[in-house]
Structure formats: C-alpha cells, structure tokens
C-alpha cells in the first residue's frame, strides 16, 4: 500500500489514538492548510478502502479508523516495523531528497524529523549536506512552510528513480515485485518502494510481462529494475498531473524494434489504468529502454549497425590487451558482449549525466581485479572520450574478468545451483571460475534471482547465492559475486564429503542461451559459404573521377546473375556511403555493402583501385582509399545468408591480423583466410556457446 509522507503521518496518529482527532491537530502537526489536510485524508481513505478500513469523521469530535480488528492490528504491526527501521546517514538523506521531490508542497523539518526518527538539528544538518550534494539543484528553504527541491520534471524522475533503485537490495525488490498480485496485500514493502504506488508498479510489471520483451530479447535483473522503477514513478507523476516541459524526440539510430516495444509497453499501461500517456512520455521511455543492454546478435546488415562504435570497441579491446599484456582479442565472445553493453552504457550516460545507479555487489569484483579495473577505466576514457561512473566501469570490467577466467568446457557430476542478480556478468565469472578450479566435478546451473520459482531447488546437491534469500525453503551458502578464495575452500570441503553414488543426471537449463546450428542450418551455411568462395576474387579496376562513379562502374561490371538493376543497387550503396563513415581506420580500404531486392545472390569481392580517393573513416579521420571490399545480399535477407556474411564483416574489424590481410592480401591469401574463417565459424556454431 503506497502512502505519501503526510498520509503516513495521519495514519500513524489514527492507529494509536484512543479518541477522535480534530482536523486542527493534523493542521498543527503537518504545518499545512485545512484544505490540504482534507485532500490527504481523502487520498488515505482511497488507499485504506482496499483493506475495508474507513476513516469516519464524527461531528464535533474528529476522525477515527473503523475496520476489522485483525486488519487494524496488521497495519499497526507494519507501521511499527517501519518506524523501528534505523536509517544510515546516507539512506536518511536519500529518503529526504525523495520525500521532497515526490511531494507537491513544502515538507517541514518536523515532518521529516518524525518520519526518520531523528532530531530537528539532524534534519537541518542533512538539508545542508543535501544542498551541497545536489549543486545546481538547490534546496528552497521557505519560512514557516518547509523545504522543496527546485528541479525540472525529467531530473525529478531521474533522481527519484535512481535513489529508489540504489537503496533497494536485489532480494527485497525482486521478492516484493514478484508478490505484487493484489493491491494493498503486501505488508513488507521496502521503504524506498513506498514512494511509488502499488497500482503503478503492478501495471508496469504486468505490461513488461505481456510485451514482446520476453521473446527474443535477453536482459538481466539489474538492467530491468531501474527501467521498471523509472516507468512506474513516471506513471505516478502523469496521474498526479505532472508533465514534461520540453519536447522529447527519439534519439537517432534507435532500432525500430525498441521503439515498437516501448510503445507496446506504454500502450498496455494506458489501457490498463485508463489514462492518457502523451507522445512525449512514450518517446522518453523509448530512450530509457534503449539504455538497456539487449543481447541482440550484431550484424553489419542491420539497418542500425554502428560501424564507428564497432571500430571503437575493437580499439578498446586492443588497448586493454596492450596495457595488461593479455590478448583479449582472441575471445570472440568478449567483442560481442562489449559492443551491446557499451552501446547501452553510452546511451545511459547521454540520457542521464546527472545520476548514476549504485550496485554494492560490484565492490568484490573491483577488489578481485584491481589492476584490470584501472586499465579498463583508463582505456575506456581514452577511446570513447567520456567520463564513466565507477559502476559502469565495473560492469564493463566483468566482461574482461569473465574472459580472463575463461577455461575449457567441462562435464560435471554433483548438481550445483548458483543464484545471481546478473547472469551476464557475475554469473559468467562464477561459472568460468568453477570450470577452471573444479575440472569434471560439478554440473553447474546458474539462474537469476527472479527465476528461482521456475526451478526444483530440492534437486540440487548444493546451492550458492550472491545475495541473502528471504524465506528460502532449503539450505544455501552465501558467496562473493566473484567466488572468492574462501568460497573455493567451501566447495573443496563439500567435494571431500560428497558421494559419487548421489550424482544427478545431466540436464541443461540454459538451452536457449547455448544456441547451436541445426543440421539444416549447418548444411545451408556450408552451401552459402561454398558459393561465396567460388565467386570470390581480387580484381584490379580503373578508378573514375570520384568514388560514386567508381562504385557505379564496379556494380555495372557484375554479371546479371548477381545484380538485375545495377543503377538501383549503386544508388543504395552510394546513399549509405554519403551518410555513414565506412573507411576502416589505419588501412587503405572501405567496406561497401548493401541488402537490396535487385541483388540475386550473396557476393563478396575485393577491388584494387588504380587511383586512390580520400574518404572518411569510422573514427572520423580521413584515409586514403586504395581497396574496396564489396559485400552484397538479396532482400529480404535470409537468416543463414545474414549469418555467413556476418562472419565475414565481423572478421574484418574484430581481428587486427585479419584486418591487415584484408588490407594487403592477394586473392590466394584471402581465399585461404575465408576458408579457415568459415570452417571455424561453422564448427563453433555447431558446438554452441559455452
């Protein structure tokens, strides 16, 4: 049950008073007008109605609560538990900031003193600290009225959502949100979630579940909670009559599926709550949703493929490799994970430079990999020319740490369940450390906190968790998010006492994550790769007066079996060339590519120019173009064709050795490179990801 701070104080008085309370007493306590008290009581009545409790105003006496004795006692217990909570200084100041931002009118020091159970002097000291902490977002001190915070609506939402998220434990928030089945039914609502109504939380959670979010897109709990909280608080603000002042436009290069998903979710909420969600609000949510690290497969043929970002991620990995003397470039999964994560991180930094989410579970990760963390942070700032928060740097660190810890794929016997809040980061490190430390001993399943109820926890030989689990039905061991040495010792002790006769059959709970090519897909991929090799050539051509004319002549030279309308295909290639930098930095080549209905068959060819041109590179620096790499595919793009051509395009920018070969290699050298690339890619896809 959500209550404003004034409503909570009124309820507190009514719960423990043995006599009716006149309205003048509430006026004096809250330091507000009679009209404001009436409004707060009306709002409180609406909240209590779900529990069949009424606020009765007896003539010439005052207000009292009327309801079933058991329900009133339940409310008193909940209220006592809330009041007994001891806030740390940081929690208290975060709570004060949030209180001031969610309230329409000034809040007095007396109200804050009662709410957080500290002296008036402490409240005034907190206000001084908050004023210094928020900088330009100054605290307004209104004589005889109280305090307000002067921020615009978007910053209000960012600060409140960030503060709420930073003060929630993953266990508490996941438990509460998963139990949010009946409005007003949950008693143990975490304090900072009381700033958001259960109605909005429930509507947002249900809308997320009903959307396409669960089909084809993967994201971890730590990513979904901040966005869920932001949207639920936004719904509260919309219903309270607050609107965004400025026009909000969708950021450039946001994929259409993200836009559709955001509109789908906000549409569900609008229908469910019977409210109007303006286009400004929907666009803001699009930009917030774009800040999530969706694990989509990267392909250069995606309309929104960012060649400049791809180059920078490659450069970032190379720089970290040089600084650490560990060649991270050999790990293909690292590049794929980083390009999705960094795109989302840069969006988060761009959309919300004021606030940053805290995650205390990251501290052990940073402590375990101190030197690597420093190199990652330094390299990121050098490549992307932007400051990055400690938390964002730590999340990126986990990709490198997982790569560093990567070991051989092994078989396991005792069933071990590891419960984490972030499967993509913490879970990956733990799994790979387990594989490295305990060869052929454990069968490991890793799940997120929110998915525990989908598993038969009683079937596991041992259960580990990176966070405390409230009311968990079986015994478990609390471990560090990076599987510290003491946790390794714990597992060694377990192995010493484990009887092999108790081993469980092998199962795989993560089949969707470990994608393998089917026989038909593997066969088709081999045929496509073979056809590409047959058509492949390195050819010398005469340069025309400019790049555009050279491309037109090049496409005209292709056989009718490849292109049916060379003019339209040329136009498509030239259009992309004029809008997107395609020069590969520190080389003399560019990748010209297109998916077009007038392309009949996939083709990859290399052309050496008789005279060079200056063109813009992915890093916005000019290069001298001497070689054109041409990659064409028919539209609509077949999934297997997309996969095979994706192997080529990724190999050009992922690996420095390959890049040099593409830049200077002759036809025989490049044909051998492509043959090896296809064989390795098909073998890897056949095995699935570890």
Q: Let me know: does 448 contact 421? Beta carbons within 8 Å.
A: yes
Q: Convert the pLDDT of each residue in 403-414 to its tens digit.
A: 776 533 333 357
Per-residue pLDDT, 3: 64
Q: Are residues 364 and 428 in the same domain?
A: no
Last residue of a domain, one of 336, 371, 405: 405
Give strand pairing partners of 631. Answer: 593, 604
Query: What CATH number does residue 481 fall under?
Result: 3.40.50
Number of domains forming the structure of the chain: 5
Q: Is residue 138 part of a domain?
A: no
Query: What CATH number does residue 335 fall under?
Result: 1.10.1790
Q: Let me know: does 517 contact 685? Beta carbons within 8 Å.
A: yes
Q: Let me know: does 158 contact 354? Beta carbons within 8 Å.
A: yes
Per-residue pLDDT, 222: 60
Closest residue by Cα to residue 340 from 387, 391, 306, 317: 306
Where does residue 153 rank: exposed (0-12), middle (13-18), buried (19+ CB within 10 A)? Answer: middle
Rounded Cα–Cα distance for residues 5 and 309 (Å): 46
Alpha-carbon distances of 139 from 88, 105, 106, 129, rounded to whole Å: 21, 13, 11, 10
Query: What CATH number does residue 24 fall under?
Result: 1.10.10.10
pTM: 0.46
Q: Give the H/E segment covering residue 620.
A: none
Per-residue pLDDT, 424: 59
Q: Are residues 523 and 589 in the same domain?
A: yes
Radius of gyration of the chain (CA): 30
Q: How many CB atoms lie within 10 A of CB 3?
A: 20
Cα–chain center distance at 312: 20
Ramachandran quadrant class, 183 (left: phi over 0; alpha: psi -120 to 50; beta: rest): beta
The pair of structure tokens assigned to 590 is: 């560019």
Last residue of a domain, one of 48, 72, 96: 72
Where does residue 540 rank: exposed (0-12), middle (13-18), buried (19+ CB within 10 A)? Answer: exposed
The pair of structure tokens assigned to 481 is: 């998010």
Rounded Cα–Cα distance for residues 578 and 570 (Å): 12
- Residue ranges making up the domain that contains 401: 307-405
Q: Is residue 586 part of a domain?
A: yes
Q: Is residue 145 part of a domain?
A: no
Last residue of a domain, one of 502, 535, 557: 502
Per-residue pLDDT, 631: 92
Q: Are residues 187 and 220 in the same domain?
A: yes
Q: Give the H/E segment covering residue 123.
A: helix 120-134
Give strand pairing partners of 420. Answer: 448
Q: Is residue 569 part of a domain?
A: yes
Q: How far apart are the first and last CA of the chain?
A: 44
Q: Is residue 122 part of a domain?
A: no
Rounded Cα–Cα distance for residues 72 and 14 (Å): 10
Q: Are residues 551 and 681 in the same domain?
A: yes
Closest residue by Cα to residue 161 from 348, 295, 360: 348
Q: Is residue 148 part of a domain?
A: no
Q: Let me know: does 150 contact 140? Beta carbons within 8 Å.
A: yes
Q: Are residues 528 and 651 in the same domain?
A: yes
Q: Are residues 330 and 428 in the same domain?
A: no
Alpha-carbon distances of 151 from 139, 351, 422, rounded to whole Å: 9, 16, 33
Q: Let me know: does 2 contact 197? Beta carbons within 8 Å.
A: yes
Which ranges in 426-513 belong to alpha helices (H)?
428-437, 485-497
Q: Are residues 162 and 249 in the same domain?
A: yes
Per-residue pLDDT, 81: 58
Q: Let me know: does 61 contact 155? Beta carbons within 8 Å.
A: no
Q: Is the dihedral of CA 141, 146, 152, 158 positive or negative?
A: positive
Rounded Cα–Cα distance for residues 400 and 586 (Å): 25
Q: Is the dihedral of CA 44, 45, 46, 51 positive or negative?
A: positive
For residue 107, what is the DSSP state? B
Rounded Cα–Cα distance for residues 603 and 528 (Å): 10
Rounded Cα–Cα distance for residues 252 and 290 (Å): 11
Q: Let me know: does 242 contact 282? Beta carbons within 8 Å.
A: no
Pairing of strands 415-420, 443-448: parallel
Per-residue pLDDT, 223: 65
Rounded Cα–Cα distance for residues 344 and 258 (Å): 12
Q: Are residues 572 and 637 in the same domain?
A: yes
- CA geometry: angle 333, 336, 337, nearest 5 deg: 85
Q: Are residues 597 and 489 in the same domain?
A: no
Q: Give the H/E segment covering residue 540.
A: strand 538-541
Q: Give the H/E segment covering residue 418.
A: strand 415-420
Q: Let me know: does 316 contact 378? Beta carbons within 8 Å.
A: no
Q: How many CB atoms lie within 10 A of CB 630?
A: 20
- CA geometry: angle 636, 641, 646, nearest 5 deg: 110
- How many residues belong to the chain? 690
The pair of structure tokens assigned to 436 is: 């490295």
The pair of structure tokens assigned to 204 is: 């947002």
Q: Let me know: does 327 contact 321? Beta carbons within 8 Å.
A: yes
Per-residue pLDDT, 185: 42
Q: Give the H/E segment covering residue 658.
A: helix 656-664
Which residues of the chain are under the pLDDT cut of 50? Answer: 181-187, 215-219, 294-297, 299-304, 354, 407-412, 499-515, 689-690
Per-residue pLDDT, 362: 66
Q: Are residues 360 and 429 in the same domain?
A: no
Q: Are residues 553 and 675 in the same domain?
A: yes
Rounded Cα–Cα distance for residues 439 and 194 (Å): 47
Q: Is residue 150 part of a domain?
A: no
Rounded Cα–Cα distance for residues 403 and 35 (Å): 62
Strands (E) located in 2-133: 54-58, 62-66
**Residue tagged 């560093």 (tokens):** 404
Query: What CATH number does residue 587 fall under?
Result: 3.40.930.10
Q: Let me know: does 498 contact 414? Beta carbons within 8 Å.
A: yes
For residue 57, what is the DSSP state? E
Q: Is residue 644 part of a domain?
A: yes
Q: Convert the pLDDT of each residue in 495-553 to its tens digit.
A: 665 543 333 332 222 233 334 556 677 778 888 888 899 999 999 999 999 999 999 99
The pair of structure tokens assigned to 71 is: 């329900």
For residue 424, what is the DSSP state? I
Q: Are residues 475 and 353 in the same domain?
A: no
């Amino acid at each position: 049950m959500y209550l404003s701070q004034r409503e909570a104080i009124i309820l507190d008085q009514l719960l423990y008073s043995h006599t009716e309370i006149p309205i003048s007493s509430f006026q004096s306590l809250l330091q507000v007008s009679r009209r404001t008290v009436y409004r707060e009581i009306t709002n409180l009545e609406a909240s209590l109605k779900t529990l069949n409790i009424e606020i009765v105003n007896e003539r010439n006496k005052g207000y009292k609560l009327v309801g079933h004795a058991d329900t009133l006692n339940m409310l008193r217990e909940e209220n006592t538990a809330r009041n007994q909570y001891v806030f740390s200084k940081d929690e208290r100041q975060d709570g004060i900031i949030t209180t001031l931002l969610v309230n329409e009118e000034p809040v007095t020091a007396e109200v804050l003193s009662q709410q957080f159970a500290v002296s008036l002097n402490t409240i005034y000291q907190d206000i001084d600290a908050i004023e210094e902490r928020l900088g330009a977002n100054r605290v307004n001190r209104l004589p005889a009225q109280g305090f307000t915070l002067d921020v615009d609506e978007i910053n209000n939402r960012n600060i409140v959502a960030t503060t709420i998220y930073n003060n929630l434990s993953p266990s508490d928030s996941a438990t509460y949100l998963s139990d949010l089945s009946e409005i007003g039914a949950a008693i143990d609502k975490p304090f900072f979630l009381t700033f958001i109504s259960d109605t909005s939380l429930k509507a947002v959670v249900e809308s997320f579940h009903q959307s396409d979010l669960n089909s084809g897109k993967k994201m971890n709990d730590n990513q979904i909670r901040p966005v869920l909280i932001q949207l639920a608080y936004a719904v509260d603000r919309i219903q309270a009559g607050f609107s965004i002042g400025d026009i909000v436009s969708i950021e450039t290069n946001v994929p259409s599926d993200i836009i559709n998903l955001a509109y789908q979710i906000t549409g569900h909420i609008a229908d469910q709550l019977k409210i109007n969600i303006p286009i400004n609000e929907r666009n803001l949510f699009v930009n917030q949703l774009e800040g999530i690290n969706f694990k989509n497969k990267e392909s250069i043929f995606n309309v929104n493929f960012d060649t400049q970002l791809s180059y920078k991620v490659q450069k970032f990995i190379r720089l970290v490799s040089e600084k650490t003397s560990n060649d991270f470039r050999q790990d293909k999964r690292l590049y794929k994970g980083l390009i999705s994560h960094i795109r989302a991180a840069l969006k988060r930094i761009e959309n919300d430079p004021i606030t940053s989410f805290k995650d205390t579970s990251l501290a052990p990760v940073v402590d375990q990999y101190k030197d690597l963390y420093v190199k990652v942070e330094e390299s990121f700032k050098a490549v992307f020319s932007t400051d990055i928060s400690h938390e964002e740097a730590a999340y990126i660190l986990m990709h490198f740490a997982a790569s560093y810890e990567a070991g051989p794929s092994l078989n396991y016997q005792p069933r071990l369940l590891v419960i984490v809040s972030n499967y993509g980061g913490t879970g990956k490190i733990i799994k790979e450390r387990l594989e490295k430390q305990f060869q052929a001993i454990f069968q490991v399943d890793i799940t997120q906190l929110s998915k525990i109820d989908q598993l038969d926890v009683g079937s596991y030989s041992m259960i580990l968790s990176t966070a405390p689990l409230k009311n968990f039905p079986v015994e478990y061991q609390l471990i560090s998010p990076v599987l510290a040495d003491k946790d390794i010792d714990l597992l060694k002790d377990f192995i010493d006492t484990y009887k092999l006769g108790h081993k469980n059959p092998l199962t795989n709970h993560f089949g969707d994550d470990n994608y393998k090519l089917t026989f038909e897909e593997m066969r088709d991929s081999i045929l496509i790769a073979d056809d590409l090799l047959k058509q492949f050539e390195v050819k010398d051509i005469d340069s025309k007066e400019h790049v555009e004319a050279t491309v037109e002549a090049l496409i005209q030279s292709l056989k009718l079996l490849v292109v049916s309308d060379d003019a339209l295909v040329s136009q498509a290639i030239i259009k992309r060339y004029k809008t997107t930098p395609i020069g590969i930095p520190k080389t003399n080549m560019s990748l010209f590519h297109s998916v077009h209905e007038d392309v009949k068959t996939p083709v990859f060819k290399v052309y050496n120019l008789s005279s060079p041109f200056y063109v813009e590179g992915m890093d916005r620096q000019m290069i001298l173009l001497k070689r054109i790499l041409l990659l064409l595919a028919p539209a609509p793009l077949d999934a297997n064709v997309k996969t095979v051509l994706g192997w080529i395009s990724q190999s050009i920018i992922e690996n420095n050795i390959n890049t040099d070969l593409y830049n200077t290699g002759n036809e025989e050298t490049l044909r051998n490179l492509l043959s090896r690339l296809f064989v390795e890619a098909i073998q890897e896809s056949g095995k699935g990801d570890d």
